[in-house]
Amino acid sequence: MSATVLDGNKIAGEIRAEVAAEVKSMTAAGVRPGLAVVLVGNNPASEIYVRGKVKSCEELGIYSEKLTPPETISTEALLSLVGELNQRDDIDGILVQLPLPPQVDSKRVLMAVDPRKDVDGFHPMNVGLLSTQRPGLVPCTPAGIIEILKRSNIQIAGQEAVVVGRSDIVGKPVAMLLINRNATVTVCHSKTRDLAGVCRRADILVAAIGKAGMITRDFVKPGAAVIDVGTNKVTDPAEFARLFAGNTKREESFRAKRSTLAGDVHPEVAQVAGAITPVPGGVGPLTIAMLMSNTIRAAKLRRGSNVELISASSS
């Protein structure tokens, strides 16, 4: 038996279509949602991410603005730029692309973003709103994970969920979102005893640890839903063989590119799980879709509108 593959591209497409319809009706009412992306310096990976975010805005009718201060910018100058964006009424969402250069105090910069415009959902005020089930802005990847589960008709209420990884960006917020939907949640990390044993209890297993193929079949209860958040670049042939031996399509690609993307979940888990997200094409596409959704949400929350769109508090 092989697991049902949860198609992130298809689900992201549904969300983008909903966002486009929202943008159309808001624009007709005289409000065009706006997103500002701050990209400091010339980090090639960050440039690719930002290009994807700006392109999505264009496709969905959201106004977008990319600001590119120099690599040498000081913390104070960046704080001043964020302050200006906070004041602008045509900007509903502000996204400061990480990582920032070493001379910049990243925490101070992220804290300076108006919580109502914090479309990444990282500000402590939004974290507090999430933990107390009040309407706010939720980090995009965790919100996307909930959408995958909901839209794939995977029950959350009453289920046992295990989250492997306790980062502020994915692990902790996804645990809170699952709790808000009445799952019983365990969060695991590097100090967890008998990690495989804890994971085997899970009806829903979320892997967000950043280690290629760490979650093997003996971590997974037969029939569980497995959500793989990892995107790890594999370049070592021995590591590649451990994960993808016998996958001729992957082998050809690896020989040509000398690298491949792997999730935190070993491909063998597909033989045990009931449902699984692939890498690539699983959680990844949802992250930008939920950023677009958050921009609309911010535009409505700031104006006191009744927020219907993809509510990320609880259901």
Q: Which residues are catalytic?
A: 53, 97, 120
Phi, psi dihedrals of residue 302, rounded to the nearest 5°: -65, -30
3-class SS letters over the chain: CCCEECCHHHHHHHHHHHHHHHHHHHHHCCCCCEEEEECCCCCHHHHHHHHHHHHHHHHHCCEEEEECCCCCCCHHHHHHHHHHHHHCCCCCEEEECCCCCCCCCHHHHHHHCCHHHECCCCCHHHHHHHHCCCCCCCCHHHHHHHHHHHHCCCCCCCCEEEEECCCCCCHHHHHHHHHHCCCEEEEECCCCCCHHHHHCCCCEEEECCCCCCCECHHHCCCCCEEEECCCEEECCHHHHHHHHCCCHHHHHHHHHHCCEEECCECHHHHHCCCEECCCCCCCHHHHHHHHHHHHHHHHHHHCCCCCCCCCCCCC
Provide the β-strand partners of residue 66: 37
Sheet holding 93-96, edge to edge: 63-67, 34-38, 93-96
Give the C-alpha separation, 174 to 283, whole Å. Answer: 13
Widest pairwise Cα distance in the chain: 58
